[in-house]
Amino acid sequence: MFQNKNIRALLNRRRMLKFIHLVSTGWLVLCVGYVMVLALRQAGFRWWVIFSLSGHSALVIFLLVSLYLFAIFRGVGKNQKIELEHPLTSTNYYTVFYIIAPFLGGLTGLVGMTGENRTSQFLLGTALGTLGATFLVWVIVDPVTGLLETLLPASRKHRAERIAQAKVRRQEEQENRERLLKEVLAREKLTQRYWQKELKPQAERLAEILTTADGIDFRKAEQQAVEIGVKAWQKGGLSCMQELRGMTMELCKSGHKDSTVVDYIPVWWDGIGNWRSPSLG
């Protein structure tokens, strides 16, 4: 009961953080757009030029913001930072501070423009405050703080232990894969030996049919080969039929080295179970 409530509270908190981060990023993009438009106007560009450029810029900004939000949302949703290695940046307080950095910068710029009568300068100060604070927190403070955290003795010790444990797990997984592969190969060898023992009489009979097919009634030879193929299918499916054909061709090659034996088996067995003859085209 209490555990379910805690899980719901955690999910609600993460949804709220994602929503706030989306809004703050939208505010940042809006400030960037305002500064760009104002700079173009001050440089003498007309509004129709600015609007024509804004379409392409909006698409690029949308793609970059989408990629950034995708990475951030995965980080917030999965809590990829390890608390023992990042004792500060993994806390909820720091996460909230990181997310609302654009708003804090805008508020700082707003306070700094107190007493300014011109609306354009007032908005410009707010936008520049947003850009400056966001750059300071997201580009400088956060990476530097994360780097300093990794240099702490406890963080370095935990990271070394985590890497060692991950290496051990990879080795165990590799050993398990190799063990499973050996078991599969061993089973295949046992199966092959079993089929060679069980199918030897049928292979000898089928080899005899192939080597004499041109000298006797071809329809009768085909009928006998089909009967052998059906029994092989009933006994072990497609793998049994393939093994029987391989044994048959080996017998034909070893018994008739000076002559060529035509392999009619793929055509004769076409349609038996999953057996399909190769396309002639």
**Average pLDDT of adjacent 10-residue blocks, the chain of 281 residues:** 64 80 83 74 56 50 54 47 78 87 88 76 84 86 88 87 91 94 88 81 86 72 87 86 87 71 85 74 38
Question: Using CA atoms, how far apart are residues 191 and 236, in angstroms rounded to an integer?
Answer: 10
The string of DSSP letters for 127-163 reads HHHHHHHHIIIIIIIHHHHHHHHHTSHHHHHHHHHHH
Residue 50: per-residue pLDDT: 45
Residue 76: per-residue pLDDT: 45
Residue 258: per-residue pLDDT: 53
- Token pair for 64: 């970059």
Please give the model's pTM, rounded to 2 decimal places.
0.54
Residue 75: per-residue pLDDT: 47
Residue 181: per-residue pLDDT: 93
Backbone φ and ψ for 274, nearest 5 degrees, come out as -95, 5
Contact in structure between 82 and 31 (CB atoms under 8 Å): no
Neighbours of 133 (CB within 10 A): 22
Residue 77: per-residue pLDDT: 42
* Per-residue DSSP letter, 248: H
Neighbours of 136 (CB within 10 A): 13
Residue 122: per-residue pLDDT: 79
